[in-house]
Structure formats: C-alpha cells, structure tokens
Amino acid sequence: MDNKSNPWRKDFPILDQKVNDEDLVYLDNAATTQKPQAVIDAISDFYSNDNANVHRGVHTLAERSTEEFEAAREKIQKFINAESSEEIIYTKGTTDSLNIVARSYGQSNIEAGDEIVISYLEHHSNLVPWQQLAIQKHATLKYIDLTDDGFVDLKDAKKQITDKTKIVSIAHVSNVMGVENPVKEIAKIAHQHGAIMVVDGAQSVPHMPVDVQDLDCDFLAFSGHKMLGPTGIGVLYGKKDLLNAMPPVDFGGEMINFVHLQDTSWTDLPWKFEAGTPNIAGAIVLGKAIDYLNEIGMDKIQSYESELVDYVLPKILAIPDVTVYGPSDPKKHTSVISFNLNGLHPHDLATGLDMEGVAVRAGHHCAQPLMTYLGLSATARASFYLYNTKEDADKLVDAIIATKEFFKDGTI
C-alpha cells in the first residue's frame, strides 16, 4: 500500500511535510504517535466549548465536562474489556501508572525477603520502580532470561517465580526486541505462586486487541500518546478488589471523602487515586482517540502492521552489514524493528536517515539493562503504525543503503 491508497494517512496533517527537502517518513511511533485531525479538533473543541472542572460544579459547563470525562473512562473500560469503569484510573502515563502500583500495592505488600520478578527487556519505567521498592524493602529483584529470539523465556520464568515471589511485572510487547511476550501464561505461573501480575501495555494496547480479563492480569498500564491521544494522559487498570485494598499515594482534591482535623477518609474508586484537578482534556480526547481506533478495528490494525513487517523486515535483513535484534521471522516480529549498521554508531545512522527524511529513534531506548544483556550500547529503531505504508518501508530501506554508502565513501 502506498501513501495515497492508505485510507487513514490523510487524517494526520503532520505527515504532509518535508524534512531536509524530503517527504517525511515518520517511524518513531514506539516513542509517540501522531494525532489524527479528529483528535486535534477535539482538544480545541473542549477548550472552546466545555472547559470546566469536573465533579465539583452544578453549572452546565461543569456537568458537560464531567459527563465527557466519565464517558471516556467507560470507553477505556470497554476498549480493554475491564469488568468495571471503577477499575480504570486516569494517570499521567505508563510510567506514572507503574509507579502507583509500586508505591501503593508494593509498599503495602512487600516485606524483607520477598521476591519481585521482571525480565531483562523491561523499559526503565517497568524496572526502576521495582528496583527501588526492592532496595527500600530489602526484597530481592530477580530477572527472567530471554530466548535467542528475544522473548521472555517461559522455562526460566517457571524457575524464577517461586512461592517467595509477590510481584511479577512484564512488558506485553518489547519496545526494543519487537516481540509479544506470553504474559497470559506468565500470569498463570504468578498466580499459582500467589503473586500478582503487572503488565506494561505501553506497546501493546495501541497495536492489538487487549483483553485484561482474558490475560487475567492484576494491573495493566498504558499511555494515551502512544495510541493517537495527547501526551500527559494514561491509564492504570487494576482489579477492583486490589484497588479497594490499596492506599492512595497522592492526597487532596477529588480523592477526599471527608477531612477532619486529625484524619481524613477517602472517596470511592476510581477517584481515590485521582488527586487534584485531573488532565480533563487529555482524558476526554483519549476517548476520542479510542473512537478513532475502534472505527478502524484493533484486529485490522494488528493485521495491517503485520503486513508491513512481512514486507519490510526481509528487506532490512538483506542489507549487508545490518544486524536486526529480535526474531528474524516476520510472523514473530511486531512493528518495532531495532537494528544496527556495522561500524556506524546508531546516532550517526539515525542522523543519516533523517537527512533522507526518515525519522527513527536511536539510543538505549530506556532499556539499559537490556543493552548490557545484548552487549550493546545502543540501537537504531524503526517503529510502524497504521498510517505508515510500504512506500514508507521502501524509503527506510533506501535510506539505510544511502547512509551506508555515504559513510563508506563520503558521497550520497
């Protein structure tokens, strides 16, 4: 599919521009996605027509704002098939969501000698909160090995998760290795040992159908800006009984029931975890982004991205001196493709691609322990989304070859 025949590309105005005199090819979607015009318009529409604080007013604007804010929560509930909208907590993003679990559930349930189990491929957001919790509580942080293809190794998971394990937290889809991990199976192992299962869904929820009841995860974290929504808004899903038992971590504003001079009582879920004025516009507009995704269908998005990977991965693998990390089989690879060009630093590679109008990410991707595990300092990373095309894929391949030749003989 070329740019003109992609039915969604026209909805994204930012893509219609030139970078370094070349048509923009945006392949940094794992970092953040672009926004369709409907989402951009929704931000302006809210502030132009409905802006008011939620829950606290009886005037018309406050009632409209509150209604939209809570309607978006119900959209999110249905989008991930949560049992109740009370299980949907608005946060700043995946990082904030994971920190809430660590600061609330973790602080209340982890004791000296307990185990927390993660894997070597985790993003820092799903590593540092558990690392710091383990340090504070004198617990043990354990790591599950990876398979040769870069998946979390189920066999090793069965070894690492024991009756001492209290928390298991795994990325559903890696932001580096391009793999979908068996989190449903890992959740079963965790539950067999009495541990809870936390899933980092930052790279899965935007790209595939995610059903929290089917996964049987206890918590799921994801971000709005990686799924066509605004920055600064995210979601923490948690099973209702767990959330009810957890203490709040931030205080003031809407999470209050009644304040006495010497103590305070908390309001009900989900507002117990939403202190202060929330990102009202962000939540409402995330609901609009979900409308857009639902109109296409998450199955269709996943299938379309798979077609792109089937097309482009063999082409990248065929370029001499290029190393791709993760599965070489396109059927096993998600739309995140990390690679290096032998003899060239990833930052130089990304700069060369940018000169060709191709935007990719380069660095450690907030996964330094994974880089150490792989014996690398950094990689380049191209990540595709629904508005990318085979034409974009061809431009990426051509740009890699052109960059290779430029650094080889100084001409382009």
User: Looking at the annotation, which residues are catalytic?
Assistant: 366
208 sits in the region (left: phi over 0; alpha: psi -120 to 50; else beta) called beta
Reported residue count of the chain is 412
- Cross-strand pairs, 337: 382
At residue 192, φ and ψ (nearest 5 deg) are -65, -25
User: What does the alpha-carbon distance between residue 350 and residue 306 come to, in Å, rounded to a whole number?
Assistant: 24
Q: Which residue from 103, 236, 100, 122 is spatially nearest to 168, judged by alpha carbons?
A: 122
What residues contact 245, with CB distance under 8 A and at least 6 apart? 108
- Cross-strand pairs, 28: 383
Distance (Å) of CA 241 to CA 86, 151, 185, 225, 257: 11, 31, 22, 29, 19
Please work out, in degrees rounded to the nearest 5, the angle formed at the alpha carbon of residue 123 by the alpha carbons of 122 and 126: 75
User: What does the alpha-carbon distance between residue 190 and residue 168 come to, in Å, rounded to a whole number?
Assistant: 7
Distance (Å) of CA 407 to CA 191, 211, 359, 412: 52, 46, 18, 9
Cα end-to-end distance, the chain, whole Å? 27
Neighbours of 263 (CB within 10 A): 7
Cβ-contact 240, 212 below 8 angstroms: no
Distance (Å) of CA 62 to CA 53, 98, 153: 6, 30, 50
User: What does the alpha-carbon distance between residue 284 and residue 184 come to, in Å, rounded to a whole number?
Assistant: 30
